[in-house]
Amino acid sequence: MQSKYVFAIMFLVCLSVSFCSAVTSRVTRHNSSQEFQKGEANDVVIGSRGTIQLGRRAEVIVKQFDDVWSINSIVSIGDTVYVGTSPNGGVYSFGAGGLKKIYAAKLTKKERPKDSNDRDANEPNDSNAVGQDRHFANEHIFAMAADASGRLLVGISGQRCALCRLEGGELKTIFEPNDANYIFAISVDKGGDIYLGTGPKGKIYRLDSSGKRGEVLYDSSDKNILSLAQGPDGFIYAGSDSRGLVYRINPKTKETVILYDSDQQEITALVFMGEELYAAATSANAVGAEAKFAAQAPQAGRPEKQDDEEGGDEESDGGTKLQIANTKESAGEQQAEHKMPVPRPPRPAQASYIYKVTKDGFVTDIFNETSVFFCLASQGKELLVGTGNNAQLFAVEPNSEENAVVFEDRQASQITAVAVVGDNAYVGMANPARLVKLGKVFAREGVYTSDLVDAGQPAKWGKLQIEADVPQGCKVLMACRSGNVKDVNDKSFSKWTELKDVTGPVQLDCPVNRFCQYKLVLRGSDGKVSPVVREVAVASAVPNLAPRVESVTVTRMEMPGKSGVFKISYDAKDDNGDKLIYKIDFRRVGRTGWIEAAHDVETGNYEWDGKTVEDGRYEIRITASDERSNTPETKLMGSRVSDAVVVDNTGPAVVKYKLEKAGKNVTIKLTVNDELSAIGKVEYTVDSDANWIGIVPDDLIYDTTSEDFTIMVEKLSAGQHIISLKLADAVGNTSYKTYEVNIEEK
């Protein structure tokens, strides 16, 4: 069956369309994340290596909370998931009984500082809330954890700072730091000791398992300690705010070393995977112009996956492997971005990074984006990274350096919390606050809608091909449409065609138009496998279009040996990319017939000897033909005529003169004419003297084809004399005239 597909594609390359029998097909290829990200993905994942596959199955647990702007922390204990929020310090539980609020701070009417729009300077821009009286507790739950006995620990920040524990369904205060307003991180070691990362003075507190005995483990020079992690070596690892440092602390000796000094301001999260530490480093400046995968450039090749992660056979369990036939590169073909080796780009100044720190302290960045990194979690061999301001959740595979957006919330602005619970991940958003359960299994169906494919001209659309792995029970389907406007929302676009199963090359049944758009529908079977599309190729054929001669210039050549020769330069384009040859014709202005000067010229210029024709004004016609790339029936031509050019090979002449003698003085008054060119220069000499004397017209300006001159020769000796004139026009044609005079003896 596969051989049939290859034959069909090779036939496509030589496509013959109904309205023109000799055109060159063009193949547009999409096979990189940069190309695919220009389209729209719904329940599909676009990988950084240029793949499309089904995304994870998502279930919205809470669409919106009342008086909650942000979910800051998520913790799972047993079968219950706990959620900590802002700005009212709310703690919610989600389990078999649904969603319940188990803690809320006492609400008081908040005296809000107003901005110029009468809006709370710290409140999200909600037009419905502007000017209304709202009640806020100014309490925040930035951090939660489970203690050694599996009880919920909650850090309350804001108008009061306290560590609370859930006992008997109530939050009871067990510790209040003396010198802190915020608890940003909570960590519990194997012995049950509790560690708090606090602000605004950057202290780390250590408590025993009861929470009654507390001490300052480390007093940093940073503003806040934003993240904590327990290392397999028994050390405590901390991430700071303002200097972006990663600390390693020996809890027994309190010996502290700076493990890494990042270029970013904040270490927002720390996670261990085995013996390697991963740190999320970010900066508020990264909130600037975001672009999907913008900070990452494609690199040559990729690291080899470990443990046979890619799977073995090309076709397994009855699945299908689709391939795209190889085609010769053409001028119009969009080249695959990842095929050209490029060096690793310099680090963007406003990007956020995920750093990998080995047990020996070596640091490498494995992922970066021009967005803020809010949270980090590990699931299997992947890291989950929550970002803003497009509320995207990235999955990063550290060993292969591959990453993909596995979830994007189109309602929220940021993903601020993520917790892995078995095969599921609970994702918390901000602005507005939403809670989503993201399954490990694939979605049943996902849709990828491409960006517009531009043929440059209205085109006949050929076949769509994909390079893909389609497991048994899975499908890839395709629909398409076309239009002549570079706007996918324009109503003039044709309707989407019916979905077709892609089991090989599929004809794009959309009308002849300049732009085409395709839609791929990926369908899974049991949620365990997904089709993986690696490349999409779209063929088009523009009908043969006549060449366009866009400019013709004719200039007299000013160089030795080229007197009277004109250089004809021309520029032509062909939208089909055909090879062009040229024919040069000329005619005298006023005549109708053209005379051929040359044909089958392949260069963009030609030298024409103007001395082969009589003086006059001439037009030059350039005709471009695409016959070398077409049949005699389909060849087309285009032509352009130059502005009139003057061919003048004759010097000026004296048309009138008057010679007067007065003693030894001679005066010559003369009129010099040239038929086509302005008079350029008049000189005279007496008795063949080698030194010519230049004169100016009587009106003092050389500017017309007829000029009057006065020559006065004084103090001639008695006898016969010759006065010689050299007359030149503006283009250098020269003629001569002599006058004989006799001066008598007195």
Q: Dihedral (C-alpha) 499, 501, 505, 508: value to the nearest 10 degrees?
A: -10
pLDDT digits (tens, 9 = 90+) for 142-175: 999 999 999 999 999 998 899 999 998 899 999 9
Count other Cβ atoms within 10 Å, centred on residue 225.
30
The pLDDT of residue 134 is 52
pLDDT digits (tens, 9 = 90+) for 289-313: 333 333 343 444 445 554 444 443 4
Count other Cβ atoms within 10 Å, centred on residue 337.
17
pLDDT digits (tens, 9 = 90+) for 551-606: 999 999 988 889 899 999 999 999 888 999 999 999 999 999 999 999 999 999 99
> Considering the chain, what percentage of its residues have pLDDT values greater than 90?
70
pLDDT digits (tens, 9 = 90+) for 350-387: 689 999 999 889 999 999 988 999 999 999 999 999 99
The pLDDT of residue 402 is 87
- When the pLDDT of each residue in the chain is averaged and rounded to a whole number, the result is 86
Cβ atoms of 52 and 33 within 8 Å: the answer is no
Backbone angles phi, psi at 119, to 5 degrees: -120, 140
Residue 254 to residue 601: CA distance in whole angstroms = 85
What DSSP element (H or E) covers 2? Answer: helix 2-13
Quick one: which of 628, 454, 635, 453 has its CA closest to 544?
A: 635
pLDDT digits (tens, 9 = 90+) for 435-447: 999 998 899 999 9
pLDDT, mean of residues 83-112? 82
Quick one: which of 562, 556, 543, 552 has its CA closest to 601?
A: 552
pLDDT value at 95 more than 60: yes
Quick one: which of 186, 193, 192, 261 has its CA closest to 227?
A: 186
pLDDT bin (cut points 50, 70, 90) of residue 285 is low
Count other Cβ atoms within 10 Å, centred on residue 43.
18
pLDDT value at 336 more than 70: no
Residue 418 to residue 367: CA distance in whole angstroms = 18
- Beta strands across the sheet bearing 565-573: 548-556, 565-573, 605-609
Cβ atoms of 659 and 739 within 8 Å: the answer is yes
Strands 276-282 and 445-449: unpaired
pLDDT digits (tens, 9 = 90+) for 489-522: 999 999 999 999 999 999 999 999 999 999 999 9
SS3 325: coil
pLDDT value at 276 more than 50: yes
pLDDT bin (cut points 50, 70, 90) of residue 545 is confident
pLDDT value at 128 more than 80: no
SS3 12: helix
pLDDT value at 130 more than 80: no
What DSSP element (H or E) covers 429? Answer: strand 424-430
Residue 205 to residue 182: CA distance in whole angstroms = 12
Give strand ranges (E) for 443-578.
445-449, 453-470, 475-483, 500-501, 506-507, 513-523, 532-541, 548-556, 565-573
| All residues at 6 or more sequence positions from 3 whose CB lies less than 8 Å from its CB, including other chains | none
Domains of the chain: 26-51+472-541 (no CATH), 62-123+134-300+356-372 (2.120.10.30), 548-647 (2.60.40.10), 653-743 (2.60.40.650)
The pLDDT of residue 277 is 97
- Beta strands across the sheet bearing 679-686: 693-695, 679-686, 719-729, 734-743
| All residues at 6 or more sequence positions from 192 whose CB lies less than 8 Å from its CB, including other chains | 147, 148, 149, 208, 209
Residue 545 to residue 174: CA distance in whole angstroms = 82
Between 75 and 117, where is the model more confident? 75
Give the HSE-up count for residue 451: Cα atoms under 13 Å, Cβ half-sphere: 13
The pLDDT of residue 528 is 87
pLDDT digits (tens, 9 = 90+) for 526-536: 888 999 999 99
The pLDDT of residue 587 is 97
pLDDT digits (tens, 9 = 90+) for 203-228: 999 999 988 788 999 999 999 999 99
pTM: 0.64
pLDDT bin (cut points 50, 70, 90) of residue 5 is very low
The pLDDT of residue 721 is 96
The pLDDT of residue 558 is 86
The pLDDT of residue 18 is 36
Residue 231 to residue 614: CA distance in whole angstroms = 97
The pLDDT of residue 353 is 95
